Structure 1
């Protein structure tokens, strides 16, 4: 570091400026900003969530207020409008804030009020994405992945890998409100290092599906139930390249989908039971985190979470304490899920494959089957924006 040109001190040429306040663009700026905001909120009576560090909650009698932070964007909600306004005024005494009223557009996600609930939509983001890919006028498709098309191992490298990485990277953010894209985007992300022409064709198919579902978003509706139900599934040895399985799960709070995942497993499994059991272990970890958050906020019911699996072998393993030779190598996952079942936190039940909602996260599906599961995940159409 050197003294700025024109401001050198001839008596102390080796001295540099001492930073008194954090500035935008510096590495420590986000941390310093969050610490200042955190300290103020704690003094104002908020409690910091131990499960999610960006979440704060305030309780006064029956009134509850929740405050969620993303860098310098803040969203506040609660069941007492007077208390919310009071807290906003206190926040304005220490920070220069602008109250935008009810959330309409937050971090690229639009909230549309319908029938007493909300639809979370990223229509503008989808339009921008198609425009960047030069596919704004492409023909739409009904599914994001074809059942019969496979990727060739000897396909020629794609001539513009940077464009592929930009488009697929942008698609990842779209899965925040579009769980129906999770499997296809996860598969595209596996070829970021060396995309081929076939991979770009798969990406264009996803974009054509987006073109036909502009007005789709994730519906959040009032629910009288606060019980947790989770569906987990696995496509055993589904990847033709390394024969690893793909896990998928969907977690519902009442009737609302709150968490989902599509991810390739880290190791090769030796049976479908093992693959399904690893998927159960993944969803168990997620449900444990969700339950911890709900308990912290005082919103958790006393009912155990219900996990649904379409593999009888994996379902039996959760309740049967006897190991056999084929399951010695999954002992860690076994103990984790088994302990949760034994303690009464989870109940693992069998569900038929046709009723398995997580099927959409593990493999390409035909049009009717894909549409059926998409509807059950609360991904619905809404009125076009003006």
Structure 2
């Protein structure tokens, strides 16, 4: 989309000084009354999106109630989905002729450029792989290494050391802006690299006052990125569209505040579609409580995913399955006897238990060695890390 923000019509009254070189010599004190938005105006993003939204609605698109940036169009068995990110638009569907017609309609009002199949979108490259696709950010990874001055660094096979413990006695890092810039870039990289989620989440916890020790952790992650430039997230056609999720927690894992780290991985069929690694907001007084907080987090995420799929008509109707490696948390989902012991997690308890009691979710036990979310909660030895990385569909693209 060319000059996206300039397409927005302003509803508010906004005045602007006469631009240099275009002043009216006879009325130098006059100001310009803006009819359209300009880059830099606070109203510009909202005005642009409103005009695009109104146009799409007029052509038959329906806005998603779950995600405001998503629109969908249905004509018989033909479906078209349109996703907006500021001035970048991606459109997909199962009918080529309908897609072409929608693009022509869009081009009658907005100046757009059709780039064809999504080979490169928002720094994410789409590569064909084994009948499916690989989402790769190789160019973005190379750019991060250049910005950090580590293009020729020695690669490593894991992003975090198992035995490393961050202390509070290290000297403050002399360039905190560089730290925040690199870690912020690594955050965007986790869009296609879930194997980096735990390490990057840990780095983000020290944004306010990084130390030399923390910068050492950043360099280790970058050395791992250097060794896995060809890796990306694989998406494949699947026979089953059932939703299943793995979740886990590492109880009191932070040595500074003793808060637990939780993580989850949500699959739609065989494809990983959502994941998270995050320190819990409160201190858990038992491993079961920490696990149950992780269960509440993944339950909220799965509820959102199911709502979106139902709205788009893509939900199989089967209740999602949540896999837990803690028997206490598994029993707690359906057994009210435990309620008296866990008043401090009452909200999470009732939220999850209602989902299980109504049949919306099924919570099953899985052994720790088969718990895929283990990679989001703690540093792992190389064999374990590599095995879980593969199960998350993070694979290498052949050169």
Which interval holds the TM-score relative to the shorter structure?
Answer: over 0.9
Q: Which residue of 2 aligns with 1:7?
A: 24
Q: Which moved more, 1:150-159 or 1:166-175?
A: 150-159
Indicate the RMSD between aligned Cα atoms, in angstroms.
1.3
Q: Which residue of 2 aligns with 1:366?
A: 381
> Could you tell me how far apart the structure 2 residues matched to 1:337 and 1:224 are?
29
> Could you tell me how far apart the structure 2 residues matched to 1:198 and 1:240 are?
15
CA distance change for structure 1 residues 153 and 89 in 2, over 3 Å: closer, same or farther?
same
Indicate whether 1:184 and 2:199 are aligned: yes
1:95-244 aligned within 5 A: 95-244=110-259
Q: What TM-score, normalized to structure 1? A: 0.97
Q: Which residue of 2 aligns with 1:270?
A: 285
**Deviating 4+ runs (over 4 angstroms):** none
Alignment partner of 1:127: what SS?
Answer: helix
> Could you tell me how far apart the structure 2 residues matched to 1:172 and 1:91 are?
33
Task: Choose from 300, 306, 313 the match for 1:291.
Answer: 306
1:2-41 aligned within 5 A: 3-4=17-18, 6-7=23-24, 13=29, 16-41=31-56
> Could you tell me how far apart the structure 1 residues matched to 2:396 and 2:273 are?
18
Shift of 1:25: 2.1
Q: What TM-score, normalized to structure 2? A: 0.94
> Could you tell me how far apart the structure 1 residues matched to 2:147 and 2:16 are?
42
Q: Which residue of 2 aligns with 1:346?
A: 361
> Could you tell me how far apart the structure 2 residues matched to 1:260 and 1:379 are?
13
Shift of 1:302: 1.2
Query: How many residue pairs align between the two structures?
Result: 382
> Could you tell me how far apart the structure 2 residues matched to 1:196 and 1:265 are?
23
> Could you tell me how far apart the structure 2 residues matched to 1:210 and 1:60 are?
44
> Could you tell me how far apart the structure 2 residues matched to 1:145 and 1:22 are?
46
List gaps (5 residues or longer) in structure 2.
1-14
CA distance change for structure 1 residues 325 and 344 in 2, over 3 Å: closer, same or farther?
closer
List gaps (5 residues or longer) in structure 1.
none
Indicate whether 1:55 and 2:70 are aligned: yes
> Could you tell me how far apart the structure 1 residues matched to 2:190 and 2:17 are?
47
1:59-70 aligned within 5 A: 59-70=74-85
Shift of 1:66: 0.5
CA distance change for structure 1 residues 9 and 46 in 2, over 3 Å: closer, same or farther?
same
> Could you tell me how far apart the structure 1 residues matched to 2:262 and 2:240 are?
27
Q: Which moved more, 1:322-331 or 1:102-111?
A: 322-331
Shift of 1:3: 4.3
> Could you tell me how far apart the structure 1 residues matched to 2:376 and 2:158 are?
13
> Could you tell me how far apart the structure 1 residues matched to 2:126 and 2:166 are?
37
Task: Choose from 222, 240, 260 the match for 1:245.
Answer: 260
Task: Choose from 338, 347, 350 the match for 1:332.
Answer: 347
Q: Which residue of 1 aligns with 2:336?
A: 321
Alignment partner of 1:188: what SS?
Answer: helix
> Could you tell me how far apart the structure 1 residues matched to 2:47 and 2:309 are?
29
Task: Choose from 85, 89, 98 the match for 2:104.
Answer: 89
Contact 2:16 2:34 in 1 (8 A): no
